[in-house]
């Protein structure tokens, strides 16, 4: 049960309210986000919701039978809009693109991508600086230096940056440069990291675990929300199955399921979702018509020379073709 309190509730009144709710046999958790204040009451569902609703200090009450509460659409039907500033929003009903290289590599590379994005009306750039790699001997990214390059070159062009964070200890150093903190598939249940990202005031793009269920993804988002950060984007990036003719199995079903279950925006990652360059367009378009709010896609001027993930990266021509088709399809389905 999610209980919203009246504005300006006094500490004494709140304490009193919590005691009354507890008297119904419910366990109360206070959740103070950057936007609102909630009480989460867990326990028997025999309690008559109207009796809670009539308590002093209560503005609204919603029964939420899901294991996740605050990210559920059962209490908040209106879609959450993520505001990145300077007029860049996600979840407004438009379709957002987040394009860029797997890894930030050099000033030259960042500039080439940034110019391409600006020319094509794309406002959000992706680019990894801290790369989780299966092998310890692989390229692990430029680190903070890469983020500084982005800030110097691409920010003045009006671009926002989404980049992966791998550990809570990196938040402070990354904070000045990052517009959206990405949590990768391998950290989808790194609860320490989720807790800490719940305490900051910048949006978090949370990727589904490579064998994470949709339910688990929503519970991981609940971690971030309940620590205070309501600005969360969910990302479907393919799951692990037995099929070997591509890298991951993009779970297209997850799009309508998530759009029904949560008020948070849903982003598709066709690059990792299929993992082979010549199939990326089809999967991206599928995401558009299935109801996603945006797509994060790996692009590079010369994918063959990319420092990582070149096999699933589009070149500029392919990207332009994709953008055109995606926009046309989005209009048709709206």
List the one residue from 23, 77, 78, 332 that touches a second copy (CB under 8 A).
Answer: 332
DSSP string, 294-311: EEEEEB-S-GGG-SS-GG
Candidates 81-89, 114-122, 172-180, 243-251 — which segment interacts with a second copy by CB under 8 A?
243-251
Stretch that binds a second copy, among 61-69, 112-120, 141-149, 309-317 (CB under 8 A): 61-69
Compare residues 47 and 88 and give the one whose CB is closer to a second copy. Answer: 47
Q: Does 216 bind a second copy (CB under 8 A)?
A: yes
HSE toward the beta carbon, residue 290, CA cutoff 13 A = 24
Handedness of CA 37, 254, 212, 231 (dihedral sign): negative
- Closest approach, Cβ 309 to a second copy, in A, equals 16
Angle at 115 between CA 156 and CA 325, to 5 degrees: 125
Helix (H) or strand (E) segment spanning residue 268:
strand 266-268
Choose, by CB under 8 A, the member of 89, 118, 279, 315 that binds a second copy. Answer: 279
Nearer to a second copy, 154 or 268 (CB): 268
Task: Provide the mask over 103-142, with x wherever binding to a second copy is found by CB under 8 A and - wherever it is not.
Answer: -----------------------------xxxxxx-----
Using rule CB under 8 A, residue 40 touches a second copy: yes
With contacts defined by CB under 8 A, how many residues of the chain interact with a second copy? 72
- Contact range with a second copy by CB under 8 A, out of 13-21, 52-60, 142-150, 167-175: 167-175
Q: Return d(Cα 8, Cα 11) in angstroms, integer.
A: 9
Work out whether strand 89-90 and strand 82-83 pair parallel, antiparallel, or are unpaired. Answer: antiparallel
Closest-CA residue to 273 (of 213, 219, 208, 333): 208
166, 197, 206, 297: which one binds a second copy (CB under 8 A):
166
Closer Cβ to a second copy, 13 or 216, answer by number: 216
Among 1, 3, 214, 297, binds a second copy (CB under 8 A): 214
Q: Which of 29, 54, 92, 302 binds a second copy (CB under 8 A)?
A: 29
**Closer to a second copy at the Cβ: 108 or 240?**
240
Angle at which helix 280-290 crosses helix 254-261, to 10 degrees, equals 30
Instruction: Report how far apart, in Å, the C-alpha atoms of 158 and of each of 99, 107, 146, 301 are.
Output: 14, 16, 18, 20
192 binds a second copy (CB under 8 A): yes
167 contacts a second copy (rule: CB under 8 A):
yes
Rounded CA-CA distance 296/308 in Å is 16
In angstroms, what is the minimal distance from the CB of 44 to a second copy?
Answer: 15
Rounded (5°) CA angle 218-266-274: 100
41 makes contact with a second copy (CB under 8 A): no
Instruction: Rule CB under 8 A: say whether 47 interacts with a second copy.
Output: no
Q: Which of residues 246-265 bind a second copy (CB under 8 A)?
A: 246, 249-257, 260
Minimal distance in Å, beta carbon 116 to a second copy? 23
Q: Does residue number 219 form part of the binding site for a second copy (CB under 8 A)? A: yes
Q: Which of residues 280-309 bind a second copy (CB under 8 A)?
A: 282-283, 285-291
Q: Which of 182, 251, 253, 258 is nearest to 215 (CA)?
A: 258
CB-wise, 142 or 193, nearer to a second copy? 193
DSSP letters spanning 14-50: HHHHHHHHHTTTPEEEEEE-SS-EEEEEES-TTS-HH
Give the torsion through C-alpha atoms of 12, 17, 18, 22, to 10 deg: 140
SS3 276: coil
Q: C-beta of 140: minimal distance to a second copy in Å?
A: 8
State the Cα–Cα distance between residues 97 and 159, nearest whole angstrom.
12
**Residue where the block lists tokens 């002093």:** 56
């Amino acid at each position: 049960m999610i209980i919203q309190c009246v504005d300006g509730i006094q500490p004494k009144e709140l304490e009193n309210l919590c005691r009354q709710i507890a008297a119904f046999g419910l366990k109360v958790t206070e959740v103070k986000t950057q936007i609102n204040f909630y009480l989460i009451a867990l326990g028997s569902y025999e309690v008559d919701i109207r009796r809670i609703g009539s308590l002093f200090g209560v503005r609204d009450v919603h029964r939420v039978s899901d294991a996740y509460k605050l990210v559920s659409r059962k209490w908040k039907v209106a879609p959450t809009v993520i505001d990145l500033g300077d007029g860049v929003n996600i979840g407004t009903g438009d379709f957002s693109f987040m394009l860029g290289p797997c890894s930030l590599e050099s000033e030259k590379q960042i500039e080439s991508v940034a110019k391409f994005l600006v020319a094509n009306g794309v406002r959000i750039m992706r680019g990894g600086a801290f790369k989780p790699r299966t092998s310890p001997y692989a390229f692990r990214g430029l680190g903070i230096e890469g983020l500084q390059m982005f800030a110097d070159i691409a920010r003045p062009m009006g671009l926002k940056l989404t980049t992966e964070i791998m550990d809570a200890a990196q938040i402070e150093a990354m904070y000045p440069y990052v517009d959206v903190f990405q949590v990768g598939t391998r950290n989808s249940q790194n609860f320490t990291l989720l807790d800490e990202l719940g305490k900051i005031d910048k949006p978090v793009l949370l990727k589904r675990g490579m064998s994470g269920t949709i339910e688990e993804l929503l519970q991981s988002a609940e971690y971030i929300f309940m620590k205070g950060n309501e600005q969360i984007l969910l990302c479907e990036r393919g799951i692990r199955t037995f099929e070997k003719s591509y890298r991951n199995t993009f779970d297209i079903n997850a799009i309508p399921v998530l759009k029904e279950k949560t008020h948070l925006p849903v982003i598709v990652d066709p690059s990792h979702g299929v993992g082979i360059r010549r199939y990326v367009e089809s999967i991206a378009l599928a995401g558009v018509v299935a109801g996603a709010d945006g797509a994060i896609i790996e692009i590079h001027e010369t994918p063959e020379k990319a420092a990582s993930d070149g096999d699933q990266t589009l070149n500029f021509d392919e990207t332009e073709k994709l953008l055109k088709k995606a926009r046309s399809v989005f209009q048709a389905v709206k």
